[in-house]
């Protein structure tokens, strides 16, 4: 059974947010998508992140997955944009690590990783 409610975790300005929501609705038939806007969630959730920031991210994700009935969490990373550091390969590695870590925080909720390329195209990586 597909989820009807999802949470996105990432910095998704304007058109990027619209294309991400469109992708998720198309792939999963979602009715509602709740964004958790974080400037660099994949770094917060990786070993390179600040533990204090990771705790805040953890709490927001747990609240969304347990109290809101979220059935899907999409961690989103972009190839380019303001404030983005690291090579694309490093960012993809961080995305994979963040998906695994967030999945461990949100028992039973499907967790995926989406990559937004330079043209705004959304790809399901993890």
pLDDT of 26 over the 90 cut: yes
Q: 0.85 exceeded by the pTM?
A: no
Q: Are 35 and 83 in contact (CB under 8 A)?
A: no
Sign of CA dihedral 11, 116, 25, 75: negative
pLDDT of 11 over the 80 cut: no
d(CA 8, CA 114): 10
d(CA 103, CA 23): 20
> Strand (E) positions, the chain?
5-10, 32-37, 72-78, 110-116, 122-124
Give me the domain span that covers residue 15.
Answer: 5-124
Mean pLDDT, residues 110-117 taken together: 91
User: Quick one: how many helices (H) and strands (E) in the chain?
Assistant: 4, 5
Structural domains counted in the chain: 1
Domain harbouring 51, CATH code: 3.40.1050.10
pLDDT digits (tens, 9 = 90+) for 56-100: 777 777 777 766 678 899 988 888 766 667 788 888 888 888 888
Q: Are 55 and 61 in contact (CB under 8 A)?
A: no
Q: Identify any residues that bridge with 51 across adjacent strands, giving them in sequence order.
A: none
């Amino acid at each position: 059974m597909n989820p009807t409610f999802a949470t996105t975790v990432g910095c998704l300005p304007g058109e990027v947010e619209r294309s991400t929501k469109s992708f998720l609705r198309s792939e999963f038939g979602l009715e509602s998508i709740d964004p958790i806007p974080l400037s660099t969630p994949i770094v917060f959730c990786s070993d390179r992140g600040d533990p204090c920031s990771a705790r805040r991210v953890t709490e927001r994700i747990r609240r969304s997955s347990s109290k809101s009935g979220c059935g899907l969490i999409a961690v989103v990373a972009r190839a380019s944009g303001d404030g983005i550091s690291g090579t694309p390969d490093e960012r993809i590695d961080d995305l994979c690590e963040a998906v695994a870590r967030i999945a461990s925080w949100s028992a039973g909720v499907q967790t995926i990783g989406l990559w937004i390329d330079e043209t705004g195209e959304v790809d399901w990586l993890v």
